[in-house]
Structure 1
C-alpha cells in the first residue's frame, strides 16, 4: 500500500464511521470502492492495516474507535472531541482530502482552479505557534496599509486567529500594553527571542471571539442582538453557510427570510452585510442601521461626484 496514502485512509474511515457503525468487511468494501482507492490503484486492505489506522486516528484526531459492543463486531466512534478539537479535525480532514487529490493527479491544473492570491504569511505560522506556547517575546517589522510604512514591533504573542482565509497574530504590544491583531501576511523579519515574558495574561480568547465577527473585537464591548432581512434566494445561501455561530432563523415567508445574531456589530460585520447589496437589510439595532445608511450615502456621493 502506498506510504503517502495513510492520511486519505484516515479521512475515509472517519467519514464512514461518522455515518454509521461498520464491520471490517463493510469498511473494506467502502474503502476499496472509493474513488480515492480506485485512483491510487489500491486493491487490498487488511485487518492489520485497519487496526494500525485506528491507533493512529486516535493519536492524531483524539477519536476513540472500538468494536467491543456485546454481540456486535462493528466498529464505531466511541467519543467525540470537544468543540475546538472538532474544528481542528475538520480542517485537517479537508486539507487531507484536497492534498491527496492533488498528489494523485499531478496534472490537476487542468481541472482544479485556485484563487490567485499573494502569500498569507503561513511561512511564519509554526514559529509564532512555538513562541505562543513557550511565551517567547517576538520582534518583527509590520507593514501598515493606511500609512504605507513599515514599523518595528515588539510584542508578547498570545494567540492565532483565522478570518476569511487570513491568519492573524493576537498579541500584547510592549510599547503601549494594548492588545492588537497583526495580519501574518504583513509580518516581515520575524525573530523569536530567547527571552520569555513573565506577564500572566488572563484572556479567554474562545470566549473573547465567541461574539466577534473577524478579528476586530479586541476591546471590551457588549454584543448586541442583530436582525437581518434577506431575500429568499440569498437566505438559502446564508442558511447553508452561516455568517456566524450565533445565527438563528427566526421567521420566513414566501419572499424573505429573517435571521437573528448575537455579536459585536464591528466594521468587519458591516462590510460583510454591505457585500450582499439589496439582498440583505439590517433591521436591528438602530445604531448599525444608521452606520450602514451613512456608509451607503457616502458611497453614493462618491459616485455622484464622478459624473
Structure 2
C-alpha cells in the first residue's frame, strides 16, 4: 500500500472523530464509503486500527482512545490542534488536485508572489541542528539590503507570510525576518546553544509579528451582520463575545494594539467601532480623519 493511502486514512479517521465519536463498525463503514469516492485503500481491521491510532498519535500529536463505557473511539487530546488542522487542510487540497482533471477550470487560487517557502526546509534543518545561518534581507523600512547572521529559533506564519524568528547576532536581540525578502541563504556548520526563548508565549497576544505595544484588553463593536463573519473566523485566539443583541455584537480581545491590528480594524469600515481602550479609539479616529482629508 502506498504511503499516501496510509496518511489519507489517518486524516479520514481524525476528521470523522472530530465530527463525532464512533464505534469500530461506524468507522469501518465511513472509510469504505470514502474508499468508493477516492479509490484509496482505506479498509481496516481491528488490528489495523490500533496500529493507525499509534501512528496518528505520533504524527499528528492527537490521542484517540476507546471509551469502553460508550463503546466508541474518541479524540481525548490534541496537543497542537491548530497547526495540525492547517497541515491536514494543506494535504487535503493537494489530494483534491490529484483527483481532479482540468483543475484550472474549477479551482481559482489567489495570485500572489512567492512567499519564501523554498527556504523552509533548510531553515527547519538549521533550527533542529542549531546551525548558524546567514542571508541577505531586504527591509521595507530603513535598512534596505543588509547581510544578517542569526541563530534560527522558529518559523512563524502571519497573514499569508512566513517569518524566521531568530537571535540577530548584530543587534543582539530576538527579531523576525520575512522569508519572502531573504536571499542568498547559507547554512553554516557553526553550532550554537539552544535558546530557552518560548515563541508561543512571546507571540500569544500578537496580531501578526509585532509586539512593541503592551498587551491590553481591546473591545470592538461589530454590526450584527459583520459579526457572523467574525464569529466564524476570529481575529485572534483570545476573542470572546461580551455583549450581543439584534443590532450589534461586542468582542473582547487581549492583544498588542499595533499597526497591523489598526489596519485590520480599518478594513471593516463602518461595520466596526472601537470601544476600548481610549488610546486605540483615538488612534483609529485620527487615521479616519487623515483619510477623509485626502478626499477633501
Asked if these proteins are the same fold (TM beyond 0.5), I'd say yes
Residue 86 of structure 1 corresponds to which residue in structure 2? Answer: 81
Residue 23 of structure 2 corresponds to which residue in structure 1? Answer: 23
State the shift of 1:122 in Å: 0.9
State the shift of 1:117 in Å: 0.7
So what's the TM-score if we normalise by structure 1? 0.87
The 1:226–1:75 alpha-carbon spacing in structure 2 relative to 1, beyond 3 Å, is closer
Residue 163 of structure 2 corresponds to which residue in structure 1? Answer: 168
> Of 192, 198, 201, which residue of structure 2 is paired with 1:204?
198
| Conserved 8 A contact 1:32-1:42 | no
**Distance in 2 separating the partners of 1:282 and 1:21:** 41
State the shift of 1:71 in Å: 8.9
The 1:170–1:43 alpha-carbon spacing in structure 2 relative to 1, beyond 3 Å, is closer
Aligned length: 295
The 1:27–1:145 alpha-carbon spacing in structure 2 relative to 1, beyond 3 Å, is same
Q: Secondary structure at the match of 2:203?
A: helix
The 1:256–1:68 alpha-carbon spacing in structure 2 relative to 1, beyond 3 Å, is closer
Which aligned segments of 4 or more residues in structure 1 are displaced greater than 4 angstroms? Answer: none
Residue 214 of structure 1 corresponds to which residue in structure 2? Answer: 208
Question: Which runs of no fewer than 5 residues in structure 2 stay unpaired?
Answer: none
CA RMSD of aligned residues (A): 2.3
Deviates further, 253-262 or 51-60: 51-60
Verify: 1:54 aligned to 2:53, yes or no: yes
**Distance in 1 separating the partners of 2:210 and 2:6:** 39
| Conserved 8 A contact 1:7-1:96 | no
Equivalent residues in 2 for 1:129-278 (5 A)? 129-146=124-141, 149-198=144-193, 201-217=195-211, 219=212, 221-278=213-270
Residue 39 of structure 1 corresponds to which residue in structure 2? Answer: 37
So what's the TM-score if we normalise by structure 2? 0.90
Q: For each residue in 1:254-278, what CA deviation from the matched residue of structure 2 results, as whole angstroms up to 9, or x when unmatched?
A: 2111111111101110000011111
The 1:155–1:256 alpha-carbon spacing in structure 2 relative to 1, beyond 3 Å, is same
Question: Which runs of no fewer than 5 residues in structure 1 stay unpaired?
Answer: none
The 1:53–1:291 alpha-carbon spacing in structure 2 relative to 1, beyond 3 Å, is same
State the shift of 1:86 in Å: 1.8
Residue 116 of structure 2 corresponds to which residue in structure 1? Answer: 121
